[in-house]
Amino acid sequence: MLETLVERRPAVDEAIAEVLPREIDEAYLSEFFGPATHRYDADALQRVLADPVWELLDRGGKRWRPVVFLLLVEGFGEDRERYLPYAAIPEILHTGTILVDDVEDEAELRRGEPAIHRVYGEDVALNAGNAMYFLPMKIVSRNPAGLDAETRLAIFEMLSDELNRTHLGQGTDIRWHNDADADPSVEEYLEMCACKTGCLGRIVARLAALVTGQSAEREQAVARYAETMSVAFQIGDDILDVEHSLGEAGDFGKAFGNDVREGKTTLLVIHALETASDERSRRLREILRAENNTDDEIREAIEILRESGSVEYARETALELAAEARDHLAEAELADEETEQLAEFTRFVVERDV
Amino acid sequence: MLETLVERRPAVDEAIAEVLPREIDEAYLSEFFGPATHRYDADALQRVLADPVWELLDRGGKRWRPVVFLLLVEGFGEDRERYLPYAAIPEILHTGTILVDDVEDEAELRRGEPAIHRVYGEDVALNAGNAMYFLPMKIVSRNPAGLDAETRLAIFEMLSDELNRTHLGQGTDIRWHNDADADPSVEEYLEMCACKTGCLGRIVARLAALVTGQSAEREQAVARYAETMSVAFQIGDDILDVEHSLGEAGDFGKAFGNDVREGKTTLLVIHALETASDERSRRLREILRAENNTDDEIREAIEILRESGSVEYARETALELAAEARDHLAEAELADEETEQLAEFTRFVVERDV
C-alpha cells in the first residue's frame, strides 16, 4: 500500500495540475474559467491561488484519498487511467479544508512548516481554500470520462450533500472548543468525526462508485467503509497524541500534549470525563479549559486519561470501527487484490506507530 | 421598486427559513442533511449556524437579489410563487460571502453593528459562511419546482462556474490590497468587480432563466444585465465613499475616507494614478500604502482624487455601464412592467444619494 502511495503520487499531482497549473496565465484563465469580460490579472491570481496551494501540496501529504479512489475504481474492475482526472477532486477539496481549518484553528504549523496563512496572510489562505471548494466541480463539468447528464447530476448532488455535512462536523467541533461547558456524548463525538473527517472519505468512495456506474447498494457499502475508516483514523490520531506524550510512541511530529494544550474534546477525554471520579473529572475539565497550562498540568491531565483506561477504550473503539469498515468493504465485493490492499490500508491507518 | 423590496422581504425570509430555520433541532437535521450515523449535536449547530446567520439577516439588508430574481421570473411571464424557494439561493450565498469577506477584510462593522466574527469568533463566522456556500445547493436537489435532471445539472454547473469566478475576483482584490506595488489597469479593475460582485448578480439572473427554461440567448442577456449593473453598483459605492468625504453626499454609514484609509484600489484611485502629475501620483500611492494616516493625509488623498477629475470619470463610467445594462435588459425582451421596474432599479443603484 505504501509503495502504491509513493508510486502514484506523480500521476495524481499531474491530474491536479491539469485544473490548477503551477503557472497561471491568461490562456489558462480564459480556457478554464471562461473568457474575461474585461481582463484578468493573471499575475495576481498566480500569487493568491497557484502559489499558496502548490506550496502546501509540495510540502507533502500522502495523497491517500486519490490512491484509495483509484484502488476502488480498479476494485470495481474499471480502468484507472480513464478516471484519473477525477482522483484530483478529493485531494483538492482536502487541500481547501486544510487551508481554511488552519485559520479557524489558529494553527501554527502544517506539514512541518509555518501554516500557509502565516506565510501568505489569512485573507489569501482563506480565499485560496474556498476557491479549492469550487475548482473540483469544474472537473465534473469538463466531463473527461464522458459521463451522461444523470451521472454528472448525481456527482454534483453527492458533493454538495457531503460538503454540507462536512461543515456540520467542523461547526460542532468549533462549538465544543469554544464552549467551556460542552459535554458531548460518545455518539455525538463519533458523529462529529463522521461529518468532519468522514464526509471527505465518503466523497472518495461515492465518487469512485458514481463515475464507474455502480449500484446504489455498492455505493453505500464503500461510502460506509470510507466513513468508518476515517473515524477510526481520527481516533487513531487522538490516541497517538496521548501515547506520544506518555513516551510510548515514536515521534509524531507534534508538540507534547498537543490536544490537551488545545483543550480538544477527544474520545479519550469524553471517556475519562464520564468514568473518572468527580474530583479527577473536575480537574481534567479545569486543565482543558485553562488558557495556559504548565507542562506539569498537561502531564496531570494525561495521567487522568491513562488511569481512566481511556487509551484502551479508544483503541478498542478504533479497532471495532476498523472491523466494521472491513465488513462494509466485504459487502462491496471488490476484486480480491484491491480488497486486500484496502484492508491492509485500514490496518495501517489504525495501527500506525501504535 | 423600493416598495417591492419592502413588500417581498417577509416571503424571502420565509424561503430562507425553509432551508435554515431559526431553531435547529434533530428532526430538521435528519430531514435536511440526512439521518446521522451516530447522533447530531443540535444545540451546538444552533449556536454556530442558525444564530450567527440569522443575526446577520435580521440586521437588515435589502434582499434585492431575491427581489430581482422574482422580477425576472415574472418578466419571463412565469409564476413567482412557484419559484419562490429558489429566491433564497442568491441571498444565502450573499450572506455567506459577507461572513467570509468580513474576516478576510478584518472588517469591524457590518450593518451598523460589530461584524459577526467579532461577536461569535472568526472560526464560527468562517464555518457558517462556508456552510452557506453549500446549503443553497440542497434547494436544487430538493427540487421544489419539479425541474428535470438536465435543468438541475445546468443549475449546478452555473453555480459552480460563477462561484469559481467569485473567488478569482476576491483573490485579485486581496492581492492588490496586500501588494504595495500593485498597478492594475482600468480593465483589470472592471474584471475584478465583474468577478467579485458581478458573479453573484449573474447567479440571480441565470438562475431565473434556468428554472423557467429560457433560451441560452435570453439567459446570456439577463446575465450580462446583472453583471454590468453590479459593476456599476460597485463603482457607485467607490464614488459615494469619496463624495461623502468631500461633504457632497448624505450619510453613507461608513467612516470618513474609509476606502483611502483601507488603501483600497478603486476605479477613482486607478484613474488618478494614471492621470495626475508624477509628484501627486507618488503622494497618493504613499498615503494609500501607509499603515496609519492622519485625517489631514486622508483629506490630501481625496483632494488628489478630486483635482484629477476622478469622481467625474468614475461617474461617467458608471453611467455608461448602467446604459449598457439597460441595453442587455432590452435584449432580454421581458414584460413591460418588469422591464420598467428593473430599469428603475438600475437608476436607483447608480444614482442613489449621488
First to last CA, chain B: 18
Q: Which of A29, A161, A164, A193 to mutate to test the interface with B (most CBs of B within 10 A)?
A: A164
Cβ of B123 within 8 Å of Cβ of A174? The answer is yes
| Chain A residues near residue B135 by CB distance under 8 angstroms | 164
| Chain B residues near residue A37 by CB distance under 8 angstroms | 190-191, 194, 198, 227
Record the cell numbers describing residue B255, joined without a space. 467612516
Q: pLDDT at position A222, please?
A: 98
Task: Looking at the structure, tell me whether residues B58 and B182 fall in a common domain.
Answer: no
Cβ of B161 within 8 Å of Cβ of A34? The answer is yes
State pLDDT tens for residues A67-83. 999 999 999 999 999 99
| Chain A residues near residue B171 by CB distance under 8 angstroms | 44-45, 48-49, 124, 127-128, 131
| Residues paired with A110 in a beta bridge | A113
Q: pLDDT at position B255, please?
A: 62
Q: DSSP 3-state assignment of A69? A: helix
Record the cell numbers describing residue B91, joined without a space. 441571498
CA Rg value for chain B: 21
Phi/psi at A254 (5° precision): -125, 165
Average pLDDT, chain B: 93
| Closest CA in chain A for residue B150 | A149
Task: Looking at the structure, tell me whether residues B154 and B125 fall in a common domain.
Answer: no
State pLDDT tens for residues A6-56. 788 899 999 999 999 999 999 999 999 999 999 999 999 999 999 999 999
Cβ of A156 within 8 Å of Cβ of B172? The answer is no
Residues 6+ apart with CB under 8 A from B160: A134, A137, A138, A140, A141, A156
Cβ of B156 within 8 Å of Cβ of A153? The answer is yes
Q: Which parts of chain B sit beneath pLDDT 50?
A: 250-253, 353-354
d(CA A89, CA A130): 14
Residue A249 has pLDDT above 60, yes or no: no
CB-based burial label for B41 (10 Å; 0-12, 13-18, 19+): buried
| Closest CA in chain A for residue B39 | A188
Q: Which of A20, A99, A127 to mutate to test the interface with B (most CBs of B within 10 A)?
A: A127
| Closest CA in chain A for residue B126 | A104
Q: Which CATH number goes with the domain that contains B341?
A: 1.10.600.10
Average pLDDT, chain A: 93
Q: DSSP 3-state assignment of B110? A: strand
| Chain A residues near residue B165 by CB distance under 8 angstroms | 33-34
| Closest CA in chain B for residue A103 | B123
Contact A288, A263 (CB under 8 A): yes
Domain count across chain A? 2
Per-residue confidence at A180, pLDDT binned at 50, 70, 90?
confident
Q: What is the least distance, in Å, from the CA of B40 to any CA of chain A?
A: 6
Task: Looking at the structure, tell me whether residues A170 and A312 fall in a common domain.
Answer: yes
Q: DSSP 3-state assignment of A114? A: strand
d(CA B131, CA A163): 8
Task: Looking at the structure, tell me whether residues B68 and B216 fall in a common domain.
Answer: no
Q: DSSP 3-state assignment of A113? A: strand
Q: Which of the pair, A241 or B86, is modelled with greater confidence?
A: B86
Residues 6+ apart with CB under 8 A from B32: B19, B138
d(CA A57, CA A16): 10
Neighbours of A253 (CB within 10 A): 11
Which residue, B349, B173, B350, B352, is CA-closest to B252?
B352
Cβ of B122 within 8 Å of Cβ of A105? The answer is no
Q: Which of B167, B183, B224, B265 to mutate to test the interface with A (most CBs of A within 10 A)?
A: B167
Residue A253 has pLDDT above 50, yes or no: no
Which residue, B266, B249, B349, B255, is CA-closest to B304?
B266
Task: Looking at the structure, tell me whether residues B68 and B158 fall in a common domain.
Answer: no
Q: DSSP 3-state assignment of B70? A: helix
Task: Looking at the structure, tell me whether residues B274 and B349 fall in a common domain.
Answer: yes
d(CA B78, CA B213): 10
d(CA B349, CA B105): 24
H or E stretch at B348: helix B336-351
| Chain B residues near residue A103 by CB distance under 8 angstroms | 122, 126
Q: What is the ipTM, given to two decimal places?
A: 0.95
Strands B109-110 and A113-114: unpaired
Q: What is the least distance, in Å, from the CA of B94 to any CA of chain A?
A: 14
* Domain, as residue range, for B115: 1-146
Last residue in a domain, options B128, B146, B164: B146
d(CA A312, CA A244): 14
Q: Which of the pair, A262 or A132, is modelled with greater confidence?
A: A132
Task: Looking at the structure, tell me whether residues B156 and B127 fall in a common domain.
Answer: no
Task: Looking at the structure, tell me whether residues A129 and A217 fall in a common domain.
Answer: no
Which residue, B62, B58, B78, is CA-closest to B145?
B78
State pLDDT tens for residues A302-330. 999 999 999 999 999 999 999 999 999 99
Chain centroid to Cα A168, Å, comes to 14
State pLDDT tens for residues A323-350. 999 999 999 999 999 999 888 877 776 6
Which residue, A148, A190, A11, A166, is CA-closest to A97?
A166
Last residue in a domain, options A100, A131, A146: A146
Contact B248, B281 (CB under 8 A): no
CB pairs under 8 A between A and B: 218
Last residue in a domain, options A84, A112, A146: A146
Neighbours of A7 (CB within 10 A): 10
Strands A113-114 and A109-110: antiparallel
Task: Looking at the structure, tell me whether residues B189 and B88 fall in a common domain.
Answer: no
State pLDDT tens for residues A256-297. 788 898 889 999 999 999 999 999 999 999 999 998 899 899
Q: Which of B37, B98, B132 to mutate to test the interface with A (most CBs of A within 10 A)?
A: B37
Q: Which of A41, A149, A167 sits opposite B188 (nearest CB)?
A: A41
Task: Looking at the structure, tell me whether residues A111 and A166 fall in a common domain.
Answer: no
Which residue, A161, A164, A208, is CA-closest to A329?
A208
Task: Looking at the structure, tell me whether residues A71 and A188 fall in a common domain.
Answer: no
Task: Looking at the structure, tell me whether residues A156 and A85 fall in a common domain.
Answer: no
d(CA B23, CA B51): 8
